[in-house]
Structure 1
């Protein structure tokens, strides 16, 4: 099973507003562990969830003093939890927490100082489960830091021109990272950053020259990309999908356009090798009445909407390879739970021709001469 990252750098402000909600719940790339801040009032502490056993369970990792609401967390594949704490408004310290019998162990890793009013934010969990990265975005330059998994504490690994947000991994090794970059006052465009080549940048998405084109999720197995762009509706972002390395255009299904709600993808079914149209996608749907769950496949023309379990950590979840969506929830009676939601029955397949070029992560989705909507009947 795999899990998508729940947090991105663009969601940093949400963590300050709701430290114990979904903006603070992060799942490892392999779906084995998760971590969040929890507690009553100001008495916040780190809680690690184990998700890959017969039943989920939570381990509290409190220290001698409570955590601040803006503390950032990142679980690692070995069960430790990376904690990033902002100190004095500019400096961020990093340490690893782990259970040691009845107590909590802490290994301090070092600190990074952000210049001016900039803030360092953690990137989503690396696919290798060992390394952890952070990003500091300035008005003209964005720096990337390896903050866990290195040999000598935090170290700068790349410098990218422009102001970047987002953060989506494009491969299974933790080498290729997609960032949403704005140069000067231009539009936002997703780019691929090669961390093994000093942060070499390659264009990834450009639907039109003027459109904001962001990468929201990527599945390395199938090459499926979930994209947010205002190209089809200037002034309003639409949810679309494409295939990494494909010659086909990005499609913007009508079924994913809800006039009175916001639709945000948060997990993609793994294991669908070179079959992007067959991947089940989990979506968070937010409206005035609350949040619930949507499931959809690129080959389908319908969005299936389902009620979320009570206490759902909205926007968090992971797919099994067998097509079961697992949604974490916490209530007074069940402080650590997973609710299983079966994927909807598969519709009749729609043939999709996919071509894959190597290296896949370095090829942009070619869209400038292509239509912005699917030529099939709207779904």
Structure 2
């Protein structure tokens, strides 16, 4: 499993949050087998599905008679179909599944959802089960989660959550536990765990300080590694930090992840490092005035490696292999469907333990003892 994230300005006034999967986004399934994006240019946009788990990646165009709008959101499923979410008249969103049928593109219409306001509906990241797809409608006082694919009767609401929610990170491999960043009234943003099998039961997830904005960016179920963004170390200024799912150890904010003249965003975590969060490789997108490049870092190291991205990188997307190779998708005129392999430099220094910061005081930074994440049977 590979965790992926693409970020942009958040709707709740926060600094960063997942971007809608529209034009320019490249979304990968949780198992890394397929991906989808909007290809083409100008008024001739179409859905393109990538197959990533074969000897070489290849792309299959899925055009329809009507070109896609730039705001069409896409989500690939584990069976190779692609969910398309299209906005109609601003607030109404239609959902359909696209798939290749010989030389043509098949389309299965699923239904529609009315959002409370334009732009209020977003697709959540691909579910770990590879079958279901979810959308989130965030209003000022409550947020509705919709099952938009994988159900029996088309789009159906599965949870109503008090507060305005953004983000979206899966915490397990069954598609049951979802983390959202929630703001209640005018209070701070706090990541919470949502149990989809218990009607959206909400429990605390991150609580670094009472007044800090604590957002979850990525989670790896194998190791328990969490990547988060918080202003706890310096109110008003967000920092990247890491913690461990279920641990009472303080969240740490490495200095090497803090760049004064660039934005740093994690987008993938190395899988397979069972119970070894410090050993997980983390891939980061770095955006500065000079362009975008890739950072590679492990919690056990006090250094982040900076590497050039391949030409045509679909920035903010990629997947790790279990043996530590980072694969980055790219598209150029000469190579419209490619995966570049990046490995950590061999001359990295011997890792040193990171000291626990003395300030700010961290009170129950990852209070997972309160969240229903253990001793649960997989969803049946």
Who is 2:195 aligned against?
Answer: 194
How far apart, in 2, do the equivalents of 1:221 and 1:10 lie?
Answer: 29
Q: How does 1:142-291 map to 2 (within 5 A)?
A: 142-291=143-292
Q: 1:5 to 1:219 in 2, by over 3 A?
A: same
CA contact (8 A) 2:280 2:298 kept: yes
Shift of 1:4: 2.0
CA displacement at 1:348 relative to structure 2 = 3.8
Cα 1:175–1:92 change in 2 (3 A) is: same
The answer as to 2:48 corresponding to 1:47 is yes
Deviation at 1:38, TM superposition (A): 1.0
* C-alpha spacing 1:351/1:234, structure 2 compared with 1 (3 Å): closer
Q: CA distance change for structure 1 residues 61 and 263 in 2, over 3 Å: closer, same or farther?
A: same
Using structure 2 for the length normalisation, give the TM-score: 0.89
Unaligned 5+ residue runs, structure 1?
Answer: 365-379
- Residues 77-104 of structure 1, C-alpha deviation per residue, up to 9 Å, x if partnerless? 0000000011111111100000000000
Q: Give, in whole Å, the separation in 1 of the partners of 2:196 and 2:233.
A: 32
State how far apart, in whole Å, the 2-side matches of 1:79 and 1:339 are: 22
Please name the residue that 1:374 is paired with: none
Matched-pair contact (CA < 8 Å) for 1:295–1:344: no
Q: State the SS of the aligned residue for 1:142.
A: strand
Give a deviation string over 1:345-377, Cα, whole Å, max 9, x none: 47545579xxx998795479xxxxxxxxxxxxx
Partner of 1:121: 122
Q: State the TM-score, normalizing by the size of structure 1.
A: 0.89
CA distance in 2, matches of 1:106, 1:328: 26
1:132 is matched with which residue?
A: 133
Rounded Cα–Cα distance in structure 2 between residues aligned with 1:343 and 1:203? 35
* Rounded Cα–Cα distance in structure 2 between residues aligned with 1:273 and 1:357: 20
Report the 3-state secondary structure (helix = DSSP H, G, I; strand = E; otherwise coil) of the residue aligned with 1:166.
strand
Structure 1 pair 80–212 and aligned structure 2 pair: CA distance change class (3 A): same
Cα RMSD, aligned residues only: 2.3
User: What residue is the counterpart of 1:91 in the other structure?
Assistant: 92
The 3 A distance-change label for structure 1 pair 239 and 99 is same
- Tell me the equivalent position of 1:377: none
Q: Cα 1:162–1:334, aligned 2, differ >3 Å: closer, same or farther?
A: same
Aligned residues: 357
The alpha-carbon deviation at position 40 of structure 1 amounts to: 1.9
Whether contact under 8 Å (1:292, 1:308) holds in the other structure is yes
Residues 9/195 of structure 1: CA separation in 2 closer, same or farther (3 Å cut): farther
Correspondence for 1:332 = 333
Q: Does the C-alpha gap of structure 1 residues 288 and 8 become closer, same or farther in structure 2, counting only changes over 3 Å?
A: closer
SS of equivalent to 1:205: coil
Q: Secondary structure at the match of 2:278?
A: helix
Instruction: Tell me the residue number matched to 1:37.
Output: 38
Kindly indicate whether the alpha-carbon contact (under 8 Å) linking 1:291 and 1:314 is maintained by their aligned counterparts in 2.
yes
Structure 2 residue aligned with 1:301: 302
Cα distance in 2 for residues equivalent to 1:152 and 1:306 = 47
Counterpart of 2:2 in structure 1 is 3
SS for the counterpart of 1:127 is: coil
- The 2-side partners of 1:39 and 1:186 are apart by 42
Distance 1:200 1:358 in 2: 14
Worse-matched range after superposition: 317-326 or 86-95:
86-95
- Distance between the aligned counterparts of 1:152 and 1:39, measured in 2? 33
8 A contact 1:179–1:190 mirrored in 2: yes
The 1:14/1:28 distance shift into structure 2, 3 A limit, reads closer
- The equivalences for 1:360-375 within 5 A come to 362=372
Task: Give deviations 1:148-179, integer Å, cap 9, x for gaps.
Answer: 00011111000100000000000000000000
Distance 1:86 1:117, change over 3 A: closer
Q: How does 1:316-331 map to 2 (within 5 A)?
A: 316-331=317-332
Aligned to 1:81: 82
Matching of residues 8-19 of structure 1 within 5 Å: 19=22
Q: Following the alignment from structure 1 to structure 2, what is the Cα–Cα distance between the partners of residues 161 and 20?
A: 31
Give the C-alpha shift of residue 344 in structure 1.
3.6
